[in-house]
Structure 1
Amino acid sequence: MALVPNSQLFPTAFQQYDQVLSESKVITGTAQSEMITRVGQRISVAAERWLNANGYEGYLKDYKWEYTLIDDNTVNAWCMPGGKIVFYTGILPIAQSETGVAAIMGHEVAHALANHGQQRMSADYIQQGVALAGNVAIQNDNDRAAFNQYYGIGSQVGVMLPFSRSHESQADEVGLILMAMAGYNPTEAAELWKRMEANSGGNAPPELLSTHPSNASRIQAITEMVPMAEAEAKKFGVTSFRPITKF
């Protein structure tokens, strides 16, 4: 359930995106920046085709797609609600190829398509509302302190973190479909996450305490989903993929 409508969320997201760009070193006119745009356009076309075929015509009408490469060592990329996408140069060595970029792009775009930003904000509001109601209802100071301690831990570990992990798994699945429909080999997604795991140096928290599935769980799930993504792409006439060529 999303309590924050697009009419409120998108303008705020676009403003935040513009602020990030104003404070960053944006790269334009290079082979890599052009590649980010090329992949993004292919993924967004795939997204529209897929949504239209599944009964969501016009779903993207308020999206204002934009694809930006920022010179920064941060190993990250993101897609804001409404289609504003940023890749940091720090993630490109892990992507290794245009296909790797497509795997990342598909995942991030899938988050936006599935309204994960709105859902997370709504869940935060609900979590805060329950906490406030509990503090108002409980009169005893000791009981109130115990409630805050156990509710905070329980709602985070038992509700919010699994909620976030389910978002990541859904984005993996939809992202795999989008990259395959865009003509990129979905088998590369699992290889990408193997490189992500190696880059983390084994410092990821236990899955129970993480917003993301463990790397091992994610790699296994993505590998198992590849035939599904290939079959879905085939429905749209995509029967072969671009070669995976490293930068």
Structure 2
Amino acid sequence: MLKKYLAATLALCALVYGCVTTPVSENSALILIPFSQEVSLGQQAFQEISAKETLSTNLRLQQVIERVGRRLVIETSMADLDWEFKLFASKQMNAFALPGGKVGVYEGILPVCSNEAGLAAVLGHEIAHAVARHGAQRMSQQLLITGALAASSIRLSDHKNRGLILGALGVGAQYGVTLPFGRGNESEADEIGVIYMARAGYDPREAVRFWQRFSSMKQGAQPPEFLSTHPADERRIRDIETLLPEAMRIYNAHPNKQGLGESFLYILNEERLKNPGGTGQKRPAAGARQPVP
């Protein structure tokens, strides 16, 4: 009875206070989490991931990550956040952006990106997740529908709901929690991200080419779309192609086009020649920060 009463109360609050409009897509979204709390969770998660991962020692690549990221975030509605970009020495083909403007890129995704515009497609998509507050949307859904979270327990120090919170923020995979963004969030992030990269002066057609490359590098058979929370690669590519006329209109009007930007292939090959054993440098054990258990 108490749970039903709580759900009804939250539903009423949602109707009165919880509706926000997502930038670019202009979709309505339910968010019951205060933005300050969401930012705090993102900062805590970023600190944990940064302590766990090894930072890349490739200064040139780090500079490119920073350059592309800054060009993108200035085109968002959250340009005034304390944005931070880190490149991790890992073969993971992954990247993420957390609430509060904390962005991580893994070296393994860069060969697939191929160039700055490919990276802009990836970062635009991830930054879109953060700006659209998709993590807060998912936590709000848990608050409203399942009761799996209580408002007072939305903090990383709460071990009972820790995995759910990290999964909702989009970084649960680093902690063994499989909770990917849903199809609607993924498609919306694609839509917002391709507009961001066009606004930043990067050729939005590279977003299609990136997903084609990414799809070709996947190993093993892909499940049918209805069995996955993510759009099938073929559908994702088709959907982005339908966004290209508007994105190209923005790109063509840009006074300072970046095109494809700098290629990563030369930088990566140069690094391999200098350091055949790998690019990462492990942190010393003495005094090193440890992941929070």
Q: TM-score, normalised by structure 1?
A: 0.76
Match of 1:20 among 45, 49, 64: 49
Query: 1:28 deviation in Å?
Result: 4.8
Partner of 2:40: 11
Partner of 1:165: 183
Partner of 2:194: 176
* Contact 1:233 1:239 (C-alpha < 8 Å) held by counterparts: no
**What stretches of structure 2 of length at least 5 have no aligned partner?**
1-29, 149-178, 266-293
CA distance in 1, matches of 2:142, 2:222: 24
Deviations 1:172-206 (A, max 9, x none): 11100111111110000011001111122353322
Query: 1:125 deviation in Å?
Result: 2.6
Aligned to 2:196, the other structure's residue is in SS state helix
Query: 1:242 deviation in Å?
Result: 2.1
**Residue type matched to 1:242 in 2?**
G
CA distance in 2, matches of 1:209, 1:121: 23
Match of 1:125 among 131, 140, 143: 143
Query: What is the RMSD computed on CA atoms of the aligned residues?
Result: 2.4
Query: 1:215 deviation in Å?
Result: 0.3
Q: Aligned pairs, how many?
A: 206
Query: 1:60 deviation in Å?
Result: 4.7
CA distance in 1, matches of 2:35, 2:240: 30
Match of 2:216 among 198, 203, 224: 198
Identity of aligned residues (%): 38
**Residue type matched to 2:224 in 1?**
P
Query: 1:234 deviation in Å?
Result: 5.0
* Contact 1:181 1:238 (C-alpha < 8 Å) held by counterparts: no
Deviations 1:41-86 (A, max 9, x none): 0001122xxx4xxxxxxx554x220010001111110000111000
Partner of 1:36: 65
Query: 1:232 deviation in Å?
Result: 3.1
Partner of 1:73: 91
Cα distance 1:12–1:70, how it changes in 2: closer, same or farther (>3 A)? same
1:231 aligns with 2:249: yes
* Contact 1:79 1:86 (C-alpha < 8 Å) held by counterparts: yes
Deviations 1:135-166 (A, max 9, x none): xxxxxxxxxxxxxxxxxxxxxxxxxx9x8111
* Contact 1:180 1:241 (C-alpha < 8 Å) held by counterparts: no
Aligned to 2:75, the other structure's residue is in SS state helix
Cα distance 1:215–1:202, how it changes in 2: closer, same or farther (>3 A)? farther
**Residue type matched to 2:185 in 1?**
H
Partner of 1:93: 111
CA distance in 2, matches of 1:80, 1:30: 23
Cα distance 1:106–1:238, how it changes in 2: closer, same or farther (>3 A)? farther
CA distance in 2, matches of 1:243, 1:45: 19
Q: How does 1:135-146 map to 2 (within 5 A)?
A: none
Partner of 1:155: none
Match of 1:242 among 250, 259, 277: 259
CA distance in 2, matches of 1:196, 1:16: 27
**Residue type matched to 1:14 in 2?**
Q
* Contact 1:28 1:34 (C-alpha < 8 Å) held by counterparts: no
* Contact 2:186 2:230 (C-alpha < 8 Å) held by counterparts: yes
**Residue type matched to 1:100 in 2?**
G
Partner of 1:46: 75
Partner of 1:55: none
* Contact 2:118 2:260 (C-alpha < 8 Å) held by counterparts: no
Partner of 1:135: none
